Amino acid sequence: MTQFAVDIRRKLVRFSAFMKSETTNTILIFALVVVAALDVLFGLRAISGSREFRSLNIGAQQAQQGMMELNQLRSLAGDALAYNRAHPDPQLAKILNAAGVKSVPIPR
């Protein structure tokens, strides 16, 4: 192998002919291209995954909000039913029957 000398900051550095080989350069450039392509691929997958996670997170928050509202409505309906049993009112009984709370007899 032939040695090449280069003066870097007043120090003599010798490079081997290893990097001057066309085969070595071709293999290293191919490896660099493969790694760069994989980097782009994994980057795109990460972006896609974060977008999907964000949309699923928003959907979960909306579902949780809906469940909280449903629980509040059930509690309110239960309170209205208990009030109607204690103080019968035909108007309230019609509203509860229309909402399908339970079969409430309409007082006359």
In a domain, 7, yes or no: no
Which residues share a beta bridge with 15? Answer: 4
Q: Which residue from 50, 46, 56, 98 is spatially nearest to 77, judged by alpha carbons? A: 98
- For tokens 């790694």, the residue is 35
pLDDT at 107 over 60: no
In a domain, 14, yes or no: no
Structure confidence at residue 79 as a pLDDT band (50, 70, 90) = confident
In a domain, 26, yes or no: yes
Which residues share a beta bridge with 4? Answer: 15
Query: In the structure encoding, which two tokens stand for residue 17, read together?
Result: 């002919």
Query: In the structure encoding, which two tokens stand for residue 3, read together?
Result: 């040695």
pLDDT in tens, 4-59: 555 556 666 666 666 567 888 899 999 999 999 999 999 999 999 999 999 999 99
In a domain, 108, yes or no: no
Helix (H) or strand (E) segment spanning residue 18 = none
**Which amino acid would we find at residue 48?**
S
What pTM value is reported for the model?
Answer: 0.51
If one counts the domains in the chain, the total is: 1
Contact criterion met (CB below 8 Å) for 105 and 93: yes
In a domain, 5, yes or no: no
Please, what sign has the CA dihedral across residues 3, 7, 13, 19?
A: negative
Length of the chain: 108
Crossing angle, helix 22-86 and helix 90-99, to 10 degrees? 150
In a domain, 3, yes or no: no
In a domain, 13, yes or no: no
Domain span at 68: 21-99
In a domain, 12, yes or no: no
